[in-house]
Amino acid sequence: MITVSTDGSCLRNPGGPSGWAWVNHHGPTASGGIAAGTNQVAELTAVLRAIEAHPGDEPLVIESDSQYAIKCASEWVVGWKRKGWRTASGSPVQNLALVQGIERAITARSGPVRFVWVRGHVGNYYNEQADLLAGAAARDVSREAAMPAMAAAELAGPTSDTLF
């Protein structure tokens, strides 16, 4: 059995730089950034990337502190698909591309996928590692976005209020 912890981070929710991460309890890790997202987008991206990174027939357990991501991937998706990707109230499913991507990744995987909720920020080692990686990825994206603006200001030279 493969056990992977996932997490997402958003520096300014909604619309801020975001990061996602997964940590295999006996192997590698991965993380990445999103220029502008939400907590939910980051959490769902982490789940999707974890499933894609662990193909095969060995059972996969995904631990997450996001009940939203777990329910999207394991409970709500069944009804949403049956209703033409609409919620119980008839409105469109939020984050549809990610939810559909997770559903396809689970279907394409020969082994079963199971989800386990873990309480976040209480010292669970793998959850904490995923949280650190997701936060670092979000900060990296934020710094990268700031770099072109700083470079443009430096190229422009001093402003009139700095001249004598």
| Confidence check: pLDDT of 99 > 90 | yes
Confidence grade of residue 142 (pLDDT, cut at 50, 70, 90): confident
Is-contact 156 101, C-beta < 8 A?
no
What was the pLDDT predicted at 121? 84
What was the pLDDT predicted at 163? 38
What was the pLDDT predicted at 159? 46
Query: ∠ CA(70), CA(92), CA(101), 5° rounding?
Result: 45
* CA–CA distances in Å: residue 148 to residues 22, 143, 156, 157: 29, 10, 12, 15
* CA–CA distances in Å: residue 15 to residues 12, 36, 42: 6, 5, 11
Question: What's the rounded mean pLDDT across residues 78-104?
Answer: 95
Q: Which residues are catalytic?
A: 7-8, 43, 65, 121, 131
Question: What's the rounded mean pLDDT across residues 125-143?
Answer: 95
Question: In this structure, what are the phi and psi dihedrals at residue 123, rounded to the nearest 5 degrees?
Answer: 95, 5
| Confidence check: pLDDT of 52 > 90 | yes
What was the pLDDT predicted at 57? 96
CATH code of 2-155, in short, is 3.30.420.10
Q: Summarize pLDDT for 110-129 with one digit per residue, the tens.
A: 999 999 999 988 889 999 99
| Confidence check: pLDDT of 157 > 60 | no
The tokens for 55 are: 């193909």
Round the average pLDDT of the chain to a whole number and report it: 90
